[in-house]
Structure 1
Amino acid sequence: MQRTIVIGNISLDRIHRPGHPPVHQLGGAALHLAAAAARAGLTAAPAAAVGDDLDGLTKDPRLPTLDWSLVHYGPGPSAAFAIHYDEAEVVTAVTTDYGAAGHLTTHALHLIDRHPRARFHVSCRHPLDVPAVLQALTEHDCLFSLDFHLPSAPQLIPAATPWLPHAATVFVNAQEHALLIHHAGPSPCPETVITDGPRPARVLLHDRAPHVAAPAAVPTVRQITGAGDTLAGTYLAHRTRHLPPAAALDLAVHAATRHTTRFPLTIPAPRRASS
């Protein structure tokens, strides 16, 4: 299967949820999305710029097999995010230290020039220069999809609007979808996947009725961060295998629900068992 290059951050996160102690864990859209895509059978290569504090990432036994060849290791620490959620599982604040991720735009543009025939997914987050990356993908006639993150969506959705008609799929949550409609209209690309936390997800298409998929109830939610990226990566993997949008969304919602029941990728990672 054709490789999908996932442009985005891999980070060291500190997660704050009401009623839970803070959790220090691996994060970043490029990591969660690529891992979910790989679990669903896609050859996925995260394209991120990280520091040497993540030089053991490729040996983490909790991650599926990924193509790590496109990760750029630069000077300084990796990106670090402190993410705060409220009782409704909505992000209320994000504190950022971009670190080595400041090199991501240059790295992404270099990869687009080197791999113009690859599929790409772009996680539209700071500090990525989203217009520059989407312009390069469009000029190379690359097949690409993209997603947003609510804290930066008010800036990055309007910045991305000129290139949205060229995207195969756009992933947004309910609040981001309202911004998307405001700036780009109700149908900016062939497929729009809309998530809404623990509420039903939808896929909107130009030529057919929306399909809705409701997540199953789970007894214990162990993590929230990465659920939307898991849904996106799983959906992309199944669409790449030519499953219809409705079937792909059903599988993606199931994968995202299962993700919330797993223990987060806490730091440090456990050692691999010796053979």
Structure 2
Amino acid sequence: MKRTIVIGNISLDHIHRPGHQPVHQLGGAALHLAVAAARTGLPVAPGAAVGSDLARLPDDPRLPALDWTLLHHAPEPSAAFTIHYDDTDTVTAVDTAYGAAEHLTDHALHLIDRYPHAAFHVSCRHPLHVPAVLSTLAARGCSYSLDFHLPSAPHLIPAAAPWLRQAATIFVNAEEHALLTLTAGPRPGPEVVISDGPRPARVVLNGRALPPVTPPALPTVRQITGAGDTLAGTYLAHRARGLPAPAALTRAVQAASRHTAHMPLTLPAPRRAPS
């Protein structure tokens, strides 16, 4: 399997849910997606920009073996996101300090230039300059997939529109899918994976909707952030291994559900014991 380079943010997340104490944890789409893909056997390298506050990520024993060689170490603090949810576990507000992530676009373009034969996954989030990255991937003939995040999707889905149909797979939630079809029509790309929290997920493959997959009911939900990224990373890994889309989706939905039942990667992080 090709190594997949995940372009996106790795961050310090501060999670606020009604009736719960705030949680401070490791986060970012690039981290959650890469971890899920690695646990499913895909060779994966996060292509993110971090500060010295996350310089010891490779020493965290809670994370699987990842290729950390493509991190960009910036002088600014790592990106920090304060994410607010409502009683239905829907994101209501995101407060952001981008910090090191301001270097992400330049770093992504460097990685595309250096590794044009890798597969890429692009988490389309601010502050990434999505048109610059996607146009370069398309011009170089790179294989790439995409995902979006609802707070920025109304701006970044139209920004990505000229390059959507060249993406191998697009991951969206139900609300983002409505924006996607409004922007690019009913067939925005060859493979679209649509998640909807605890409700059924589905794949639209070459314009044909496959049977939906319902997540298993769980007695306890310990975290929400990163579930969609876990689904995407698991799905990409299984598809890279040759599984058909229905089987890949079933396993991806199960992995996302397991993710919500696990404790988040709270801070401070433990260090890996010396070998």
TM-score scaled to structure 2, two decimals? 0.98
Question: Structure 2 regions of 5+ residues with no counterpart?
Answer: none
Is 1:204–1:211's contact at 8 Å kept on the other side of the alignment? no
Question: 2:51 aligned with 1:51, yes or no?
Answer: yes
Equivalent position of 1:267 in the other structure: 267
- How do 1:77-116 and structure 2 match up within 5 A? 77-116=77-116
Equivalent position of 1:170 in the other structure: 170
Is 1:37–1:234's contact at 8 Å kept on the other side of the alignment? yes
Count of aligned pairs between the two proteins: 275
Deviations 1:99-156 (A, max 9, x none): 0100000000000000000000000000000000000000000000000000000000
Structure 1 CA distance, aligned partners of 2:207 and 2:92? Answer: 36
Is 1:6–1:123's contact at 8 Å kept on the other side of the alignment? yes
Q: What value does the CA root-mean-square deviation take over the aligned residues?
A: 0.9
Equivalent position of 2:76 in the other structure: 76
Equivalent position of 1:194 in the other structure: 194
Equivalent position of 1:161 in the other structure: 161
**Matched residue type, 2:104:** L
**Matched residue type, 2:169:** T
Is 2:12–2:26's contact at 8 Å kept on the other side of the alignment? yes
Structure 2 CA distance, aligned partners of 1:188 and 1:17? Answer: 33
- How do 1:1-275 and structure 2 match up within 5 A? 1-206=1-206, 208-273=208-273
Structure 2 CA distance, aligned partners of 1:208 and 1:96? Answer: 38
Is 2:187–2:207's contact at 8 Å kept on the other side of the alignment? no
Cα distance, 1:208 vs structure 2: 3.7
Structure 2 CA distance, aligned partners of 1:67 and 1:160? Answer: 27
Is 2:202–2:209's contact at 8 Å kept on the other side of the alignment? no
Cα distance, 1:256 vs structure 2: 0.1
Range with greater deviation from structure 2 (211-220 or 148-157): 211-220
Cα distance, 1:209 vs structure 2: 3.8
Distance 1:112 1:46, change over 3 A: same
**Matched residue type, 2:58:** T
Structure 1 CA distance, aligned partners of 2:176 and 2:77? Answer: 30
Structure 2 CA distance, aligned partners of 1:98 and 1:265? Answer: 20
Structure 1 CA distance, aligned partners of 2:117 and 2:206? Answer: 26
Range with greater deviation from structure 2 (71-80 or 203-212): 203-212
Cα distance, 1:32 vs structure 2: 0.2
Cα distance, 1:205 vs structure 2: 1.1
Over the matched positions of the two proteins, sequence identity in percent amounts to 72
Question: Structure 1 regions of 5+ residues with no counterpart?
Answer: none
Is 2:117–2:142's contact at 8 Å kept on the other side of the alignment? yes
Cα distance, 1:56 vs structure 2: 0.9
Is 2:186–2:207's contact at 8 Å kept on the other side of the alignment? no
Structure 2 CA distance, aligned partners of 1:165 and 1:183? Answer: 12
Deviations 1:196-234 (A, max 9, x none): 111110100125442211000111100000000000000
Cα distance, 1:242 vs structure 2: 1.1
Structure 2 CA distance, aligned partners of 1:192 and 1:215? Answer: 18
Structure 1 CA distance, aligned partners of 2:224 and 2:207? Answer: 33
Cα distance, 1:19 vs structure 2: 1.1
Is 2:134–2:163's contact at 8 Å kept on the other side of the alignment? yes
TM-score scaled to structure 1, two decimals? 0.98
Structure 1 CA distance, aligned partners of 2:122 and 2:172? Answer: 13
Structure 1 CA distance, aligned partners of 2:207 and 2:198? Answer: 27
